[in-house]
Structure 1
């Protein structure tokens, strides 16, 4: 289906130097993932810039919201399937005050990136993993989810539509944010009667204000990120606001982020607010096992596979906080942070420092992962998806 979609617009949005007939352009933005008859729905033609790149200071790009031109929306009713979706101008959405997502937090989100190759083509990194994770989370949150094919198709569409916002090679990436929410009105505590799948995008670079500089983390033994039997293992929106107080407190004292311990024993490492954590000792890499309270990160999974391919032993297990005192290296992984070296961790007023020089393993893993994502290193794992 995406090939049919691309062929219909290849002479317009994919070739910014060519003029774009308004009729074809209008068809593109009225496009849905259903039969050709749905292309006839009425919609207003949108203004369009034929510039190859948006007017952005790419050298000073950070990790903040920079609204792009278009978003994708698809809806379905309770006990139904998602049947059609469309590209529309980026803008506010209308929700009932009693929407399930607003009243009971019935919502999920994902995060993935699109990269621009030196040739100008666009690459996605493992979108199938995000699609499957959303389906897993949707089951936990009692929501219907798009199929894997629908998810990937929608991600491809939003990437093509916002192509001019994909940074030049080496200048960042287009961060793609799929949302799944209970959009229908509900008063009593129950699943919403209608659901919305929405994707928007923003060009980004470094997640932390330190850029690529090592992070300094604080181990918080007061606040919990997740508990057994909860939803810590899925990417629900309800996991994130509760950690804001801990993050703001830590940043107010000069730390980059917070590392949380398990809620039951306050003894074992869990994860950082927005990323997974790894410890390195000699040739052994350890990371907390995903046992229901820790998010199974796509970057986490990829780094484990890369490290094993490079000959390292990787252990997924319960890690006592005391092991931080003896680690050679510590690093974080996530879609937003990629692979971020940790320079120090403070626990109970004791600060421990770790290796972060150019020969550190985290640098090697980062270079390998980003090289695959940008298409400059052979993707022998079959992870990347080329759009054009």
Structure 2
């Protein structure tokens, strides 16, 4: 496998993990060599969309060991997402065990440290019992696959974004859950953004279309002229683990971070801006265009110094090159 040219794509590895909920309880999960799932044509997930998922990474360290970054938060978020969709949550302790099992089983596919690539891990939970009328499932499948990936975005290169006319999620809807429907509804906006020459789009709040919510696949942050880290607070966006971590890193760097409503009308107060998430880590935003006006942050071709420093510290923690705050990293020998 060419570790330096992986792309962000699926590779069918030897082992996946699977567990089933049936007769009111979770059965013991296990590794499997099957990379397919058999479903009835009347399965809940195919018709009423009971599906939630997660995304996390395993990082190869310089010493050859493997780091997981705050995986318990992914397990808790999966449980929270399941609760929002009326699903039977997979226990967090079992979630952690499944992640460690699949990483160990596919250890040879964790890319080497010097490649900058990672093993991307995708746990998901689906309703599998047969239904005709609208109702929650009574049977569920929890499944995890892993795939080696390169960078989701091409390094710290600023990208151009546009503001979408669509809503990603309803105000009191499922925006805070990591469920496929939210991403499906954002695809048309992303397709249009790409056609117009942008990397992706930014969504505004669904009630007033006044406040910044998030990008199609990542949270937003801005750095003010005074050097403050600011990120949106909204009930219709995903509670990002990368965002939660960067808020703490920003505090350590003296950036006085804050989560608050951000009016798009105030966008020009930011000297730098970025998108943050598990896949992207940090992707600098060079510009955002809205209603025909382009708003530029720092430089359309160069990444700002504050964004660069945030990125470098977070990446160093994830790969084990810098001390991690207590509990942030779990190491697999």
Give the structure-2-normalised TM-score: 0.96
**Map of 1:343 onto structure 2:** 286
Distance 2:196 2:61 in 1: 40
Structure 1's consecutive aligned runs of 4 or more residues displaced over 6 angstroms after TM superposition are: none
C-alpha offsets along residues 358-385 of structure 1, whole Å, 9 cap, x if unaligned? 6521111111111011011011332000
Distance 1:111 1:59 in 2: 21
Secondary structure at the aligned position of 2:250 is classed as helix
Distance 1:359 1:349 in 2: 24
Distance 1:251 1:211 in 2: 19
**Map of 2:20 onto structure 1:** 75
Secondary structure at the aligned position of 2:289 is classed as strand
**Map of 1:165 onto structure 2:** 109
Contact 2:272 2:304 in 1 (8 A): no
**Map of 1:292 onto structure 2:** 235
Distance 1:326 1:269, change over 3 A: same
Distance 1:155 1:174 in 2: 11
Q: 2:172 matched to 1:229?
A: yes
1:255 to 198, 213, 216: 198
Distance 1:71 1:280 in 2: 40
C-alpha offsets along residues 145-198 of structure 1, whole Å, 9 cap, x if unaligned? 121110000000011111111111042100000001101111111111200000
Distance 1:292 1:190 in 2: 25
Distance 1:343 1:359, change over 3 A: closer
Q: 2:72 matched to 1:131?
A: no
Q: How much has 1:301 moved relative to structure 2?
A: 0.3
Q: 2:227 matched to 1:272?
A: no
Q: 2:330 matched to 1:352?
A: no
C-alpha offsets along residues 266-308 of structure 1, whole Å, 9 cap, x if unaligned? 110000000000011022111111x320100000100001101
Contact 1:165 1:174 in 2 (8 A): yes
Distance 1:218 1:192 in 2: 38
Aligned residue pairs, count: 329
Distance 1:73 1:112 in 2: 17
1:151 to 95, 116, 120: 95
Contact 1:81 1:144 in 2 (8 A): no
2:42 to 98, 103, 108: 98
1:199 to 130, 134, 144: 144
Distance 1:272 1:382, change over 3 A: same
Q: 2:59 matched to 1:115?
A: yes
Q: How much has 1:109 moved relative to structure 2?
A: 0.5
Distance 1:262 1:309, change over 3 A: same
**Map of 1:304 onto structure 2:** 247
- Cα RMSD, aligned residues only: 1.3
2:30 to 86, 103, 108: 86
Contact 2:157 2:303 in 1 (8 A): no
Secondary structure at the aligned position of 2:25 is classed as coil
Contact 1:114 1:176 in 2 (8 A): yes
Distance 2:79 2:303 in 1: 39
Q: How much has 1:132 moved relative to structure 2?
A: 0.6
Contact 1:219 1:259 in 2 (8 A): yes
Give the structure-1-normalised TM-score: 0.83
Distance 2:7 2:34 in 1: 20
